[in-house]
Each structure stands twice: as C-alpha cells, then as structure tokens.
Structure 1
Amino acid sequence: MKPSILVVGSSNTDMVIKADHLPSPGETILGGTFLMNPGGKGANQAVAAARLGGSVTFICKTGNDIFGKQSVQLFEDEGIDVSHLLSDSKNPSGVALITVDKNAENCIVVASGANASLSVADLQQTDAVIKNAEIVLMQLEIPLETVAYVAEIAYFNGNIVVLNPAPACKLPDSLYKHISIITPNQHEAELLTGTKVIDLESAKIAAKILRDKGVKDIIITLGKAGALVYSNLLFTHIAAEKVIALDTTAAGDVFNGALTVAIAEGKSIEEATVFACKASGIAVTRLGAQSSAPYRNEINSATHQSIN
C-alpha cells in the first residue's frame, strides 16, 4: 500500500524567463526562453511525492480563474487527491515571476493571491484528513497560523510533521515543538537560528540550535554540498548528486516531496535524505518546477558519508 501523505500549501502559476544574468535594481535585460508552468511550493512538493510513489492528498486554495482550474486538472492528472481543494471567489490564483540565469541560479517574486486566504477555519473542516495522514508536509507560502494549526493537530495525533521553512520567516517557539523534521536551506537556517551557514561546521551549529528549539530531526540542505542530517544527536553528511544544473527553481520542493515518500515508506532519515538528494539532482537538470520532478523509476541507489 502506498504511503499516505498530506501536503498543505500553496499553488501558483510560474512565469519563467531564462536570461544571461539576473537583473540588478533598475536594470532591464533581454531574456531568452519564456515558459509558463504550474508551480507553488505546496503543489510542487505534492506532485514530486505523487510521482515518486506516494498516495498524496493536497489541500490548497486557488482562485476561481483559468490558472486555478488548470492547476486542479493537472493535480488530477498526477493522481493526487484534490477532494479537499478550496476555491476563492474574491482573490486570484497565486502567480510567481521567475528569472533563471545561465548558471541556473534564480530569483523569484510571488503574488500569493488565494494562497494567503487559506485559513485555520478552512482547515478545521478537514481535521479528519489531517489525522488520517501518516505524514504531513507543509511550507510557508500560506498563512503561518494555518501551518501552526495543522502542525499541532498532526503532532498530537502522533503523525510525522515535516516543515520546509520556505520562504524563510521567524517562527513562533510553540511551532518548533510540533515539528518532527525541519528542512531549511542555508539562508533559511541562518534566519531561524542567527548562525550564518557557510559550511558543514556552521551548519552543525545551526542544527543544534534548531534541536534545542524542540525539533526532533533537522536536515539542512547545502546546495552543491548536499545536506546535513542531525538525528539522534548524530550528524550525517549526504553528498549531492554530481550533475550539470540547468534550473534550480524547484530543487528544494522535489527534495521535500521525495523525503516524505521515503520517510513514509519506513526508511531512516539518512536513507530518505539520500533518496531526496537523488531526486533533486535529477530535477535541477530540467527546466520548470513541477515539470522537473522525476518519476520513481529514475531514482537509483546512492550512498552517504558520516561525519563527526
């Protein structure tokens, strides 16, 4: 039986332009390829998890517009349970404007739209869905109070709660205690802990701070340097896949979707991180957000290296 995964989060339409470099303030540049793709951190993670073998239920809020309707159809095509999706008649669907440079780095501006109106009241209608999920995955492109509500319900029901704290913001102390696994990147880890993360040693310091805040397991993603896992008071460095990156837009989302599938299947957090690094390594070789997420048959075995 497929692992039961609930993703609560955002759905956007991504408008992407490939350019030689990212523009500076006040600068206009002529770009190359234009792509319009389904995106949003929640949606990206839901699609990644579904493609990799998870039985995924996705809760989000879209506008009553063409972008929202297209998104719902795409989720259904991916085999995602959309029976609890919500439509907002007052706000448009979320939109993200993305520029990707020749080195595959990106800058993103998001107009949240209906995502910002996914409320605690909305989720109170789905308590049974939250409680029935083996693992709950969230991000921060929806209201923080909604994230906190879902985390508390899931935590006290004994479910695994995974939080990808992106985009980064300060979290209330009470939320940390309801998180099973937190997955910040270097920038997010710095914002959450006050420790600048530039290498493995500084990542270990940040991880210990997050552990002290109440999170059980910490995974700090380090881009080309892979990921640092802090679990059971032990550190493990997971190496990144060696690939030629084309677009890093949804690498973190694919990582988190893959991680939840592996965790829900009973893999250790270290094994799950290897699996997630492999999935995100494939994703960065492709353009787009959801379109870059790999399928299960594309994931091969990988190894990890322990550090002190």
Structure 2
Amino acid sequence: MPLARLSRQVVVVGSANLDLTVAVSRLPREGETVLGGGLLLSNGGKGANQAVAARRIGAEVRFLTMLGRDPFGDRISRDLTIAGLPADGLLRDTSAPTGVALIVVDRQGRNQIAVAPGSNELLLPAVIKRHESFLAHGAVMLVQLEIPIATVEHTLQFAKSHGMTTILNPAPATPLPDDLLRYVDLLTPNEIEIEALTGIAVSDLSSATVAAKALLLRGPDVVIVTLGPQGALLCTASDVRHLPAVPVEAIDTTAAGDAFNGALATAIAETPQADTSGTSRIQVLEDAVRFANAAGALATTRRGAQESLPTKVEIERLLAGIPA
C-alpha cells in the first residue's frame, strides 16, 4: 500500500443528501411515535460529508457526486462550492430527486437514520468513466456505499490502476464480495458494518480483533474498526493496535464517522514522502488514526452533519489537550 506520492490530493466519490434532523428525548421503539423538537435542515450524505471534512482540514479535494435538478440539489451544489469543492464534480440529473436522509437524534447523541438515495443511484460506472480525467490525479481515493456497488468497485479498481491509496468506508452496512475488497487498501467499518461483512458480532476489542483479522484474509491491506467511545482498532497482517477515543461531551454522533474518514484520508495523503523512509509504516498509520479519532470526537460535540466537521487547528488543539 503506497503511503505517500507527489500528489497530496484527496479524491472522494460518493453521495450527497439533504439531511432532515429531529432532536428527541429518546429514540422511538418499533411502531412508536415520539414528539421531538425543531427540524434542522442540513447538507449531508457520506460522500459529501467526507469531502467537506477533508477540505475543512485543509486538503485539496475533488468530489464527484450526482444531484437532482431540484431546490435541494441547488442548495447542496451552492454550499459545496462555497466549502471549496470544485463545481465540475457536482453533477446534476433530471430523472431523480436529490437524495434525502431522515434522522432522529436523542439526548445522548445517538441516532437513527433512513436514506432515500434518489439521484445518488444514478452515479453509475459509465458516469465515472466519463469523468476519469477529473479523478485521476489524487493521492487517496475515498469511497462509501451510498452509491451503486458496481460504481464502488469500478472506482476502486480505477484508483488502484492510477497508483492511489484506496480507502473504503463500508457504510451503510452490507456484505461485500472479495472481488471488490481486493482493491481496498484501508477498510474502515464500525461495529455494525464489520458484523455485516464477517458475520462476527463485535462487542469488545477482542471480538473486533477477530473480525478484523478475518477481513484481512479477504483482501484489504489494513482494517481500521471504529468503536465510538472506545476509539479505533488498527489491524494489519503483522500488527494490532488500539487507539483510545479522545474524551468529549457528545451531543450528536451523526457525522462522526465521516469526520473520521475525511481526516484519515487527509492524513494519509499529506504524509511527506521523506517521512515514510524514516518512520515505520505502522507508525504512519497509527498517527493518521489518532488524528482521525480526534476529528470524529469533535464532530460529536456539535449538531448537524457538515456543520459539525472540525478544522485542522481544532483537531490539533484537542490532541494537545488545549480546551476549546
């Protein structure tokens, strides 16, 4: 797995949605209606969130997504451009509405999410082929699973053929074929997602290690299991390391995983070539995961998705123990 190259650009291919979020005192049970507070409309989607996360930290980012030609798409396109993402990657289609996510968040920051993919389902392999020149010059390719699986596999294969480090955030949880996983350098599941991939229930560090090692046998070079308040588990063929979470007061976990992945991709992309000769590969990965842990923690301290994503200065202050 290459850890550095001349380009330091992060390329993201994935979803963009409008998030509709309601705060509730507790999450509803099956068949139950719960009265909540106000409605928050915010830009989301795992792809867009991760692209904005990397850009806010300071990475040069290219993001390819598919929006509908509707007011939601207009809003998202405008805001992503303001956030610093190239307009060339914000594609539009009239045959489906922009994706929408319905989110409820309780007082502990826990959430439930349902997504109507809409135009995200139109981000097909043929679209990727037409925009290969836009995607071809990055250091890292970051992909998620809110777009068609065929597109994910095509994108990862394309990235590997162009010498990029590939990161797959396998969310939402779904089983994946080994033919796809062999194109993945870093796989970043949470507890639910790794169970979907392996059939192994993860409840602690020991079971997370067993599941991660099982995944390594199927193709990925590195498996990083995100464990919420327990931090993250970094697994390679020769090393297993636990990186504890950075303690914060969480109020909304909606984009924590996206903050983690955007920060991880940025840290890998920005690893200076000179550092990889004097620093062990596992140390480079450990530093990247520690940085990503802090980004994910900070995202839980604010409401919303992209509104919650931290800057590089905020991440570095948290890691240094400096109060906000």
Normalised by the length of structure 2, the TM-score is 0.91
Is 1:296 the counterpart of 2:308? The answer is: no
Total equivalences in the alignment: 303
Q: CA deviation at 1:210?
A: 1.0
Q: How far has the Cα of 1:2 moved from its partner?
A: 8.0
What do residues 69-126 of structure 1 show as CA deviations (whole Å, max 9, x unaligned)?
Answer: 1111111111112312211101000001100011111000111000011101100012
C-alpha separation between the residues in 2 aligned to 1:3 and 1:157? 14
Distance 1:172 1:283 in 2: 31
Q: 1:270 aligns with which of 268, 280, 286?
A: 286
User: Which of 284-293 and 267-276 deviates more?
Assistant: 267-276
Q: 1:148-163 maps to which residues of 2 (within 5 A)?
A: 148-163=153-168
Choose which of 108, 114, 117 in structure 2 pairs with 1:103: 108
Deviation (angstroms), 1:249: 0.4
The question of 1:193 aligning with 2:209 is answered no
CA distance in 2, matches of 1:85, 1:171: 27
- C-alpha contact (below 8 Å) 2:191/2:225 kept by paired residues: yes
Point out where structure 2 has 5 or more consecutive residues left out of the alignment.
1-5, 273-283
One of 141, 145, 161 as aligned partner of 1:140: 145
Letter in 2 for 1:160: T
The one-letter amino acid paired with 2:309 is A
Q: 1:306 maps to what in 2?
A: none
Structure 2 CA distance for aligned equivalents of residues 83 and 202 of structure 1:
43
1:296 partner letter: K
Q: Are the aligned partners of 2:49 and 2:258 in contact in 1 as well (CA < 8 Å)?
A: yes
| Structure 2 counterpart SS, 1:99 | strand
Residue of structure 2 equivalent to 1:172: 177
Q: Give, in whole Å, the separation in 1 of the partners of 2:107 and 2:314.
A: 26
Q: Which runs of 4+ in 1 moved over 2 A?
A: 128-131
Match of 1:29 among 16, 27, 34: 34
Measured in 2, the distance between the counterparts of 1:75 and 1:102 equals 29
SS in 2 for 1:104: coil
Q: Which moved more, 1:286-295 or 1:19-28?
A: 19-28
Amino acid of the structure 2 residue aligned with 1:131: A
Task: Mark the runs of 5 or more structure 1 residues left unpaired by the alignment.
Answer: 304-308
What is the CA distance between 1:232 and its match in structure 2? 4.7
* Partners of 1:61 and 1:114 within 8 A in 2: yes
The equivalent residue for 1:230 is: 235
Deviations 1:120-139 (A, max 9, x none): 11000122233211110010
Give the whole-Å Cα distance in 1 for the aligned partners of 2:186 and 2:214: 14
Identity of aligned residues (%): 44
Higher deviation after alignment, 2-11 or 249-258: 2-11
Report SS of the residue matched to 2:127: helix
**Structure 1 contact 249–288 (Cα < 8 Å) conserved:** yes
Provide the aligned C-alpha RMSD in A: 1.4
Q: Of the candidates 243, 251, 260, which is equivalent to residue 246 of structure 1?
A: 251
Deviation at 1:158, TM superposition (A): 1.6
Letter in 1 for 2:247: K
Name the SS for the 1:83 alignment partner.
helix
- Is contact 1:152-1:178 (8 Å) kept? yes
1:213 aligned counterpart, secondary structure: coil
- Match for residue 280 of structure 2? none
Task: For 1:120 and 1:289, locate their aligned partners in 2 and report how far apart those are by CA, in whole Å.
Answer: 27
User: Could you give the per-residue CA deviations for residues 9-37 of structure 1, whole angstroms, max 9, x where no partner exists?
Assistant: 00000000000111122211210132100
Once the two structures are overlaid, the 10-residue window that deviates more, 128-137 or 225-234, is 128-137
State TM-score, norm by structure 1. 0.96
- 1:212 alignment counterpart: 217
